[in-house]
Chains A and B, each alone.
Chain A
Amino acid sequence: MNSARTTVRAQGLTRRFGDFVAVNDVSFAIEAGEIWGFLGPNGAGKSTTLRMLCGVLAPSSGRAEVLGYDVARDPESVKLRIGYMSQGSSLWDDLTVEEHLAFYAGMFGMDGPAQRAAVDEWSARVGLADRRKELAGSLPGGIRKRLALGCTLLHRPKILFLDEPTAGVDPVSRREFWDLIAGFAEEGTTVMVSTHYMDEAEHCKVLALIYGGRIIARASPDELKRSPAIGPTVRIDSPESVALIDVVEPLPYVLACALQRSSLHVTLRRGQDLEQLRKALAAAGCSATPVAITPSLEDVFASLVNAA
């Protein structure tokens, strides 16, 4: 785990706000070149963890190293080498696209020709070459996110921290955004991204599930779907699937059940047999047969949260 390719290493990382423990004794390592996804509901501690790793927020206890620099003792060295896109707006509505890029180029010490070259290059790479003179305030949400991404990447950081970068963005723009991220990851940039979109989580090489300030699971998306912590998952296609929730949910051996599209997904507890669910359904007068499926990430996530 502590290989030379490790770019981020957290050990017992904890942050308290008064009595509230936002991040509780979190440990993990991120390998260079990975897209590392941070999945969890709002308030689970995703942003707080990212902020600590970026040197913006001091940890209450534990430690973390980013690219070999301690985030608590040497936050400025960390900041010089990373890119961070915060959850809130990182743009000024009254500055244009190229003024934003020039600003961040200046922040990282580029001037004159180097600055102009950086503005040219990055306005093109994030697909804004033809909107350079437009004010950020007049850009649609998805395009704003691309500009923000360009601003964080222009100093060529080795690692990129993205805090819910696609929140509130339409699906097409989200896909475009993820294509950009995948491209940068292929060039060797490590990406740590928090999200609560399950489809986005599929892009990640490693997923960490955070809930209540703790990481409750960490594996690749495929491994998570085969997690030994949960039992089998079935799909029930029935016209009364909504009503069925009330039947299925209270069953002691059911870990999680939720509607996905028009069918009901049910995940059982570890080691529980499907036969008892079939009987319970028949007893309730439901004629549909549960079909065993590979759980979706949403099933896995809900189950792991309930199991934790």
Chain B
Amino acid sequence: MNWRRVWTIAVKEYRQFFRDHRTVAATMLMPLVQVVLYGYLSSEVRHQPTIVWDNSHTAQSRDLLRAFVNSSYFSLDYYAHEMRDVVRYIDGGRALAGIVIPPDYATLLDEKKRPEVMVAVDASDATAAQTALSAAQAVGTDATRRMTVRALRLAGEPLPSVGVDVRTRAWYNPGLRQEVFIVPGVLALVMQFTMTFLSMSTIVRERELGTLEQLIVSPITSGELMLGKMIPLMTVGYINVTTILLLAVFWFGVPVAGSVALLYATVLVFFFATLGMGTLVSTVAKTYIQAVQLIQFLLLPSMLLSGFIFPVESMPRPLQLISYFIPLRYFLTIVRGIIIKGVGIDYLWQQILILLAFGLAVFAAAVLRFRKRIA
């Protein structure tokens, strides 16, 4: 390895990269846009537009509705005069939930009977509906418990002392904030996108320009060329990681629980995997368009199967097996481990080693693959 030649390539790449203002702007802004978008889109199902048909119009019914509002999952935006209104609003998508309180609600309560309140939820999006349904259940259970306690107190009877008291603790993310989970994942995802997209043009662009032949005839070795082309991209990658982390900490309030130094070190390992992959594609493709298509073919499954959206543990077995070959999977575990849980190398060394092995393998494949093209 002749470092002078590696550096010569790197200097050329730095100059070309920073002279191309549009690419610079896109590369620097893309991560910001992604983090902000994902960060906000990920916020939980809350304040769902809800239509209410209150047939009771009593203090008791208003009491119950207040409980729905206080749960913060329902936002009582519309009031219906008949059942048709409820159906129409949910059909039209203006409301995602409908609450129907019967006319005899207060009467039944006074008679110590259990009135039925209907909560209908637009379950087209099953995940969002699930949250709303659980929230509605909780509102009901809570109201019942409060009413029972009040009734017993009024009757002068003692409160029952039997029962199980389940104490829950939300570790690592006590506020149960979605962005704590999502933002570190976006960091990994954005790194993967930026790095592969930048590196996939490295070789194929020189091939299209005709300058590759000149590089091949120079004394540079395949490894020196690849490394020289990767170094500037790693710099860009580190700038991106830093912006995303600053945004995570100061905008989304997602602090880094673990070691920032370890995080930056593992990012370097991930760079090798992603840049190696992009460079490999770049040596295989004959044109830039071909490279783009190949990369898309590789990136989409990696986004779906890495555990970024769907947990790997809940995937069918064959898909889980595929996910073992997706470097993003390991990097996600590492990044979430360091940022959210604050664990160190003693817990993550296996993931880091696998990622390192993967990175070295694709880098070597790119170097060897390019060698063949010279001969």
Which A residues are closer than 8 A to B by beta carbons?
A: 51, 54-56, 58, 75-76, 79-80, 82, 84, 86-92, 94-95, 99, 103-104, 106-109, 111, 151
Contact = CB atoms under 8 A, between A and B. Distances in A.
A56 B209 CA distance: 17
A109 B218 CA distance: 11
Contacts of B209: 88-89, 92
Given A94-B20, A106-B11, A89 B210 contact: yes
Interface stretch (B2-10, B111-119, B360-368): B2-10
B219 A76 contact: yes
A106 B228 CA distance: 12
Given A95-B15, A104-B218, A90 B8 contact: no
A38 to B, nearest CB: 17
Interface in B174-218: 209-211, 213-214, 216-218
A103 B217 contact: no
B368 to A, nearest CB: 16
14 contacts: A51-B213, A55-B217, A55-B374, A56-B217, A56-B374, A76-B219, A84-B217, A86-B210, A86-B213, A89-B210, A90-B214, A92-B16, A94-B15, A151-B214
Contacts of A51: 213
B356 to A, nearest CB: 30
B2 A109 contact: yes
Given A103-B12, A106-B4, 20 more contacts: A51-B213, A58-B375, A76-B219, A84-B217, A86-B213, A86-B214, A86-B217, A90-B214, A92-B16, A92-B209, A94-B19, A94-B20, A95-B12, A95-B15, A95-B16, A99-B12, A106-B7, A107-B218, A109-B2, A151-B214
Interface in B18-76: 19-20
A79 B217 contact: yes
A132 B5 CA distance: 22
Contacts of B374: 55-56, 75
Contacts of A108: 218-219
Classify the secondary structure of B's interface with A.
helix
A89 B216 CA distance: 14
A90 B211 contact: yes
A90 B210 contact: yes
B147 interface: no
A109 B15 contact: no
B220 interface: yes
Nearest to B12: A103
A166 B188 CA distance: 50
Given A56-B374, A58-B375, A89-B211, A99 B15 contact: yes
A86 B12 CA distance: 20
Nearest to A89: B210
Contacts of B4: 106, 109, 111
Contacts of A109: 2, 4-5, 219
Contact of B375 (A75, A95, A104, A106): A75
Contacts of A104: 218
A197 B92 CA distance: 76
Contacts, number: 71
Interface string B281-293: 0000000000000
A84 B214 CA distance: 7
A89 B8 CA distance: 20
User: What 10 A-B pairs come out closest when comparing CB atoms?
Assistant: A88-B210, A106-B8, A90-B214, A86-B213, A84-B217, A107-B218, A89-B210, A58-B375, A94-B19, A80-B219
B155 to A, nearest CB: 86
B210 to A, nearest CB: 3
A58 to B, nearest CB: 5
A79 B218 contact: yes
B362 to A, nearest CB: 24
A92 B16 CA distance: 9
A84 B216 CA distance: 10
B5 A107 contact: yes
A107 B5 CA distance: 5
Contact of A79 (B8, B211, B219): B219
Interface in B201-249: 209-211, 213-214, 216-220
Tell me which of B2, B4, B11 has the highest count of chain A C-beta atoms within 10 A of its own C-beta: B4
Contacts of A55: 217, 374
Contacts of B219: 76, 79-80, 107-109
A111 B211 CA distance: 22
Contacts of A103: 8, 11-12
A76 B374 CA distance: 10
B225 to A, nearest CB: 10
A264 B52 CA distance: 99
Contacts of A84: 214, 217
A91 B218 contact: no
A92 B218 contact: no
A82 to B, nearest CB: 8
Contacts of A99: 12, 15
Contacts of B220: 107
B203 to A, nearest CB: 14
A240 to B, nearest CB: 46
Contacts of B5: 106-107, 109
Contacts of A92: 12, 16, 209, 211
A260 to B, nearest CB: 33
B211 A56 contact: no
A92 B9 CA distance: 13
Contacts of B375: 58, 75
A67 to B, nearest CB: 14
Nearest to A91: B211
B210 A56 contact: no
Contacts of A54: 217
Contacts of B216: 56
Contacts of A94: 15-16, 19-20
Nearest to B5: A107
Nearest to A96: B15
A76 B216 CA distance: 10
